[in-house]
Amino acid sequence: MIKNTSLAVTALIFSCSLIFAQKGLDKDVTSFKNILKDWSIGVNYGTTQFDGDIRQYDYASSVQTGLTYQDEDFKELRSAFSLSLEKKIDEKASISFECVSGEFAGLRRPNEYVGFEIDDPYGIADNFGNKFVTSFIETDMLFNYNLSSDIGKLIKIELPKNLSILAKVGFGYNQFRSLRTNLYSDEYIYSYGYDELTTNESEDMVSQSVILYGAKIKYKVTDGLNILVDYTIRRSMSDKWDSSLMDGGNGNDRFSLFSLGLAFDLKYINSKD
């Protein structure tokens, strides 16, 4: 009898403990969801285009074919990947944090250097057709503003409620390595983030501040899932991205990233609603 009573009391205590623990867990989960309700995470992949001293055309990308030292053509268009975390402030505004990694590149043929003072610090370029490739990692903070209602009033058309058009502006910290070589022979001309006169990577990347501006479109597919279309221009605080400090050139370098991606609202994680 005593043994059975002890077992019953133990079972009751254990059951009560589970009930209180479940209530505490439900409370924690609810609190966690409340924290996440205004956050979303996004993943984008797209194409970069550089604009600076070493670029063949102002409004189009270029490709150099027929290079004997490599199997593939040299293309200005490169790719980049971004991961973002966005916090909604209100119906109009949000802030976001982005991490971007990828490459951008450029080429410039000899006839495009007529009238310019060529940047050749070592005096080793035998032909002033240049190309460069820059790899980078960047961390950004941006402010986003929803223009959908303003655009709708301007064009006098009510935009779909699941479509958002946002303007974005911010600043970032860019780390990069840039290598400039002869376009036709691939001989070294200049670099940043590499050992001098070699193509061996050094341990340290060159860093600098950047400013960002652009726009993105968010299309809500279903609760918690959005399609992203993003166009952002990144402008450096120097003229080093193409390893060329050419007098009379474009000054501060910049590159654009056009990308597509998905954004997922974090409040829908483990949601049963």
Element (H, E) at 165: strand 163-182
At 9 the pLDDT is 46
CB-based contacts of 217, cutoff 8 Å, min separation 6: 163, 164, 165, 166, 228, 229, 230
The angle formed by the CA atoms of residues 43, 77 and 99, to the nearest 5 degrees, is 30
pTM for this entry:
0.80
Q: Across the chain, how many H-helices and E-strands are there? A: 2, 11
Using one digit for the tens of pLDDT, what is the confidence trace for 172-231?
999 999 999 988 888 888 888 876 655 555 557 889 999 999 999 999 999 889 999 999
Using one digit for the tens of pLDDT, what is the confidence trace for 88-131?
998 889 999 999 999 999 998 877 665 566 666 666 666 678 89
Higher pLDDT among residues 64 and 30, named by residue = 64
